[in-house]
């Protein structure tokens, strides 16, 4: 990420860019921007001014003392910026599997949604495992969310539940498998691995 920080003027700006680019339909209050990006309010104001000057974000409303901010959907480089920041912020599949190994005996891992540039999909990661340490999964996802700048929607199923849901064409499983996705691990031999 150091390359991006140098290219885009620092970590604070990169965090704000990710926040807006990966939450394109969300309007944020000024204080919320600083909280979500984990930067000071002064720094947030300065960076918002820069992003506004280049047309990436726009000021929506001004309340008594608070402004609302939103991604400018007409920003010229919107798609390119989303792809660039997504590719540089996401872990490689091998690294993700390595991190997930500590949460239990993994059987299937499917990446969808955010990982496939599908912003409105129901799930980003589907994990199937025999034994899971739920607290570890939750902590890992929080760390990834802070790095990426977007909430990660994920589901953890045991093998029996996954097979049952797959067999009855459950909506949760179909919402992942019927749309763009990558199976990065399949020890059950059910799904084609990328």
Q: Is the pLDDT of residue 145 over 60?
A: yes
Q: Is the pLDDT of residue 71 over 90?
A: yes
Task: Specify which residues 59 forms β-bridges with.
Answer: 69
Question: Any alpha helices (H) in the chain, and if so which ranges?
Answer: 2-8, 11-21, 30-37, 41-53, 78-89, 93-100, 134-148, 159-167, 171-177
Q: 2-88 architecture in CATH?
A: Orthogonal Bundle (1.10)
Range 154-179 average pLDDT: 93
Range 137-152 average pLDDT: 82
Q: Is the pLDDT of residue 13 over 50?
A: yes
Share of the chain above pLDDT 70, in %: 91
CA angle at 90 for the pair 29 and 124, rounded to the nearest 5°: 75
Assess contact for 180 and 115: CB atoms under 8 A: no
Q: Is the pLDDT of residue 109 over 90?
A: yes
Q: How confident is the model at residue 132 (pLDDT cuts 50, 70, 90)?
A: confident
Question: Which pLDDT does position 2 carry in this prediction?
Answer: 55
Question: Which pLDDT does position 148 carry in this prediction?
Answer: 77
Give the least confident one: 6-15, 83-92, 171-180. 83-92
Give the SS3 label for residue 31: helix
Question: Which pLDDT does position 131 carry in this prediction?
Answer: 75
Question: Which pLDDT does position 1 carry in this prediction?
Answer: 47
Question: Which pLDDT does position 133 carry in this prediction?
Answer: 82
Range 61-71 average pLDDT: 77
Long-range contacts made by residues 36-39, C-beta under 8 angstroms, separation at least 24? Answer: 36/149, 37/12, 37/149, 38/146, 39/12, 39/15
- pLDDT, mean over the chain: 86
- Tokens representing 185? 């691990």
Q: How confident is the model at residue 3 (pLDDT cuts 50, 70, 90)?
A: low
DSSP state of 193: -
Give the SS3 label for residue 130: strand
Range 59-84 average pLDDT: 84
């Amino acid at each position: 990420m150091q390359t991006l920080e140098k290219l885009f003027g620092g970590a604070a700006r990169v965090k704000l860019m990710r926040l807006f680019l990966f939450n394109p339909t969300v309007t944020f209050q000024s204080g919320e921007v600083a909280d979500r990006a984990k930067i000071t309010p002064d720094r947030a104001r300065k960076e918002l001014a820069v992003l506004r000057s280049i047309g990436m974000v726009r000021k929506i409303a001004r309340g008594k003392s608070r402004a609302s901010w939103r991604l400018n959907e007409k920003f010229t480089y919107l798609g390119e910026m989303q792809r660039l920041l997504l590719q540089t912020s996401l872990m490689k599949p091998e690294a993700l599997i390595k991190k997930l190994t500590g949460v239990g005996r993994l059987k299937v891992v499917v990446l969808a949604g955010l990982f496939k540039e599908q912003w409105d999909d129901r799930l980003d990661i589907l994990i199937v495992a025999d034994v899971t340490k739920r607290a570890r999964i939750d902590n890992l996802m929080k760390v990834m969310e802070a790095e990426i700048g977007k909430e990660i929607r994920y589901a953890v199923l045991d093998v029996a539940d996954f097979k049952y849901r797959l067999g009855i064409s459950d909506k949760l499983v179909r919402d992942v498998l019927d749309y763009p996705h990558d199976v990065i691990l399949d020890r059950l031999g059910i799904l084609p691995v990328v």
